[in-house]
Amino acid sequence: MKEVSKRWLATDTNRSRRSYSKFLCPVCGQVVVKRRSGGLKAKTCSVHCKKQQSNPERVCYYNGYARIIKPKHPKAHNYMMKRSVVVAESKLGRYLEDGEVVHHTNGIKDDDRPENLEVMGISEHHRLHSRGINNKAAKLTTEQVLEIRGKYRPGIRHCDIAKEYGVCRSTISLVLNRKHWRYL
Ligand SMILES: [Zn+2]
Ligand SMILES: [Zn+2]
């Protein structure tokens, strides 16, 4: 690996003359401290990066999310990280904070192109996923809501529309007053 610091780090104790140095891992891009002799000989920082280097396309899928090797990432689990998080972090130039999640704009969980990823708070993300027909309590479909709003004229009674769609009058009022389905 490439040695980062020119100056060797202090030997650990006086009983040995092992010198340590900082190295840059070409696979995970992280700076690691290793014994100088071993670090110069090694091509990567760890066995996990070595595996990744021998097969660059090495991606694991878990719950539909692509995961890649990032052994030194502070939030790595079993040396793996969600690829979406890694891509979003490199886009941001910092690590994600607690309470921040990555949302896939087009809904495809393993589409980790930077333009498809959006970092947002957990509550905002939850709201985004439970709106409209994703909300289990929804009585109407997107088409019906647009239809109701399109054909409503002053003078038409809410309860007549409600009967037509088989819902409660208050549901129609909430839709028409934009208390529900606000984003449409
Ligand atoms: Zn590495
Ligand atoms: Zn999402």
108 and 156 both lie in a single domain: no
Q: Are residues 78 and 98 in the same domain?
A: yes
Rounded distance, CA 110 to CA 103, Å?
A: 11
111 Cα: distance to centroid of ligand 2 (angstroms): 12
State the average pLDDT over residues 60-83. 86
Q: How many domains does the chain have?
A: 3
84 and 123 inside one domain: yes
Q: How far is it, in rounded angstroms, from Cα 102 to Cα 105? A: 9
Ligand 2 centre and the CA of 100: distance in Å?
A: 11
Q: Residue 183 falls within a domain, yes or no?
A: no
Ligand 2 ion: residues within 5 Å (CB): 103
Who's near 93: CB < 8 A, 6+ residues apart? none
138 and 168, same domain (yes or no): yes
Ligand 2: centre distance to CA 23 (Å)? 37
- 184 in any annotated domain: no
The pTM score is 0.63
Read off the pLDDT band of 99 (50, 70, 90). Answer: very high
**Which residues form the domain of 100?**
59-129
**Does one domain contain both 68 and 91?**
yes
Confidence band (pLDDT; 50, 70, 90) for 95?
Answer: very high
pLDDT over 80 at 4, yes or no? yes
The verdict on residue 182 lying in a domain is no
Separation of 64 CA from ligand 1 center, angstroms? 25
Query: Are 79 and 110 within one domain?
Result: yes
Backbone region of residue 3 per phi and psi (left: phi > 0; alpha: psi in -120 to 50; beta: other values): beta
| Closest to 84 (Cα-Cα) out of 115, 130, 122 | 115
Find where tokens 């290793």 sit: 34
Do 43 and 91 fall into the same domain?
no
